[in-house]
């Protein structure tokens, strides 16, 4: 039996364990291969590409790390709220399954294509967003081409791409809630809002943990949408950590700083995912 497991362990060691270990080691070395301790980490975390303290008072760019945090602060609540509301509204609607399938197309679509479509959505001449803004007499502009709006355009555009994920999971979770609970609440005279807040939301807690975990991991490592739509521009105003790691490695050819960003991203994902997964395990037990 052990003989058949050896090839699997060998592949994991070659393609997972060794690259991870090599990246960690590389983050503590300089370009000449000399050990420099935490110097690379200090250099990266104090650079304007990662945290731009001047931008906090002047506006974008704020640095890739701050941009990722903004992405989480805006994208995560919108994805959760829209997914839950759509799942509840479409639960007993005729043709709801078809509508949910259309919403889920954003997840099926490659994110590279999604980045191109976001560019079109916010384009001055072709974008549907500008057509909507005309209702409020807001002048048309290419929203991804300006430092003050580029990141926000990508974030709101990515909500459309990701909300199908939360909608489908919440729809599946709603089917697991016993109908007896709703019938008993209605007999007791509970309002629709009270049923939603006291029954639906608590019963969907495991689904919410899964959605939050997967969404946070995606937000931390988001790359392809930014790469295609803006390449982190203009002037780094929409840059994110994963893209900065790419720029360090393949534009600046600074693999040590790129390794630092990779380690920071890995640690961030572990710090986010492990507590949430532990909470999910405790709920199920």
Instruction: Report the distance separating Cα 267 and Cα 277, nearest Å.
Output: 15
Reference 127, options 111, 114, 113, 143; nearest CA is 143
Question: Phi, psi (5° rounding) for residue 135?
Answer: -60, -35
Supply the pLDDT for residue 243.
95
Q: What is the pLDDT of residue 91?
A: 83
Instruction: Provide the 10 A C-beta neighbour count for residue 87.
Output: 25
Predicted local distance difference test score (pLDDT) of residue 81? 93
End-to-end alpha carbon distance in the chain: 31
pLDDT at residue number 140? 84
Query: So what's the pLDDT on residue 16?
Result: 86
pLDDT score for 284: 64
Can you list the domains of the chain with their CATH numbers? 38-284 (1.10.3720.10)
Residue 199's contacts (CB-CB under 8 Å, 6 or more residues apart) are 177, 181, 182, 185
pTM: 0.89
| CA distance linking residue 31 with residue 235, whole number of Å | 27
Could you report the average pLDDT of every consecutive run of 10 residues in the chain (285 residues)? 80 89 92 90 91 78 92 94 90 80 82 88 86 84 90 92 90 88 84 86 90 91 92 91 94 92 91 80 68
Helix, strand and coil content of the chain, in percent to the nearest 5, comes to 75, 0, 25
């Amino acid at each position: 039996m052990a003989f058949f497991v050896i090839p699997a362990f060998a592949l994991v060691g070659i393609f997972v364990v060794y690259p991870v270990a090599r990246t960690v080691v590389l983050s503590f070395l300089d370009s000449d291969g000399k050990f420099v301790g935490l110097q690379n980490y200090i250099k990266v975390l104090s650079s304007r590409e990662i945290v731009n303290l001047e931008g906090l008072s002047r506006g974008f760019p704020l640095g890739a790390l701050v941009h990722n945090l903004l992405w989480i602060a805006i994208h995560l609540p919108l994805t959760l709220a829209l997914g839950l509301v759509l799942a509840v509204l479409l639960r007993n609607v005729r043709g709801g399954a078809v509508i949910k399938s259309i919403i889920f197309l954003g997840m099926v679509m490659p994110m590279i294509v999604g980045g191109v479509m976001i560019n079109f959505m916010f384009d001055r001449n072709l974008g549907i967003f500008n057509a909507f803004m005309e209702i409020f007499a807001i002048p048309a502009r290419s929203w991804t081409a300006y430092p003050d709006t580029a990141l926000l355009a990508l974030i709101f555009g990515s909500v459309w791409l990701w909300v199908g994920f939360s909608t489908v999971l919440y729809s599946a979770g709603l089917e697991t809630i016993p109908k007896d609970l709703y019938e008993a609440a209605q007999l007791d005279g509970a309002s629709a809002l009270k049923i939603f807040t006291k029954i639906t939301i608590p019963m969907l807690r495991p689904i919410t943990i899964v959605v939050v975990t997967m969404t946070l991991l995606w937000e931390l490592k988001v790359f392809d949408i930014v790469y295609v739509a803006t390449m982190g521009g203009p002037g780094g105003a929409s840059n994110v950590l994963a893209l900065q790691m790419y720029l360090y490695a393949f534009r600046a050819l600074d693999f040590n700083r790129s390794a630092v960003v990779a380690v920071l991203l890995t640690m961030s994902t572990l710090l986010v995912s492990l507590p949430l997964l532990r909470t999910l395990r405790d709920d199920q037990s």
